[in-house]
A = this chain, B = another copy of it.
Amino acid sequence: MTAYKRHIDNTAISDLTVARLSVYLRCMDRLLELGIETISSQALADRFNLNSAQIRKDLAYFGEFGVRGVGYNVRELRQYVVEILGLDRERRLIIVGAGNLGTALCHYSGFSGGNFLVVGILDSDPSRIGDPTPAGLLVEDAARLGEIVTQRQVEIGVITTPASAAQSISEKMAEAGLKVILNFAPIRVRADEGVLVKTVDLGVHLEELSFHLTHV
């Protein structure tokens, strides 16, 4: 139940594997809700529409968590995945852009059971600064970004401004020392080496659905 084999060798872990680990975590949570304490990779795959070999291979990058002939202990495996994903400590984040999406995210405390903590929401519009959000935070001046990141030990930046501001904000975030950024603006942001910008473009998803509608 303690440490997992930290991935130290030179082979990089694929993004796809990491994303699936998140999915497995949700599966564990669901199983615990159902009172299931032990499960085989096959039963897991059947229940959640996954592939059993892929589950085993994904986990094998980080250690041997199962018992042959038996399967996995759900509670233990959940804890291992939590450690692998780095969810065993608080992650502080700020949101830049206190519009519709920014405030919705701010209010949403349910991220992974409270490990992600919104410690600031910033905007450049003077008429919005000082506004309270439903979550109890006040909107602060985006010009104070660097200062806030340092003082509140922020690790993650979230961009919910219009696309036109996204590039410059990501640069300011990188300058302030943030290493990972989640960008909701529909634009491909360029980032320096060592800074990871993950863009989530909801428009792309809707357009994929539109494609499926037109192509039977």
Contacts and interface: CB of A to CB of B under 8 A. Distances in A.
Interface string A36-53: 000000000000110000
Nearest to A12: B215
A12 to B, nearest CB: 9
A205 B196 CA distance: 12
A156 B206 contact: yes
Contact of A22 (B26, B134, B201): B201
A87 B204 contact: no
B26 A213 contact: no
B26 A86 contact: no
Given A23-B188, A200-B202, A203-B22, A84 B49 contact: no
Given A111-B203, A206-B116, A206-B182, A155 B213 contact: yes
Interface size class of A (residues with CB under 8 A): 35 or more
A211 B179 contact: no
Contact of A207 (B22, B103, B205, B210): B22
Interface in A135-163: 155-156
B26 A85 contact: no
B211 A84 contact: yes
Given A107-B100, A187-B26, A188-B48, A180 B202 contact: no
Nearest to A202: B200
A163 B152 CA distance: 31
A67 interface: no
A193 interface: no
A200 B206 contact: no
Given A13-B211, A91-B210, A91-B213, 12 more contacts: A13-B215, A21-B207, A49-B190, A85-B214, A86-B210, A91-B206, A100-B103, A101-B108, A103-B104, A105-B202, A116-B206, A200-B202
Interface of A: 7, 13, 15, 18-19, 21-23, 25-27, 30, 48-49, 84-87, 91, 93, 100-101, 103-105, 107-108, 111-112, 115-116, 134, 155-156, 179-180, 182, 186-188, 190, 196, 198, 200-215
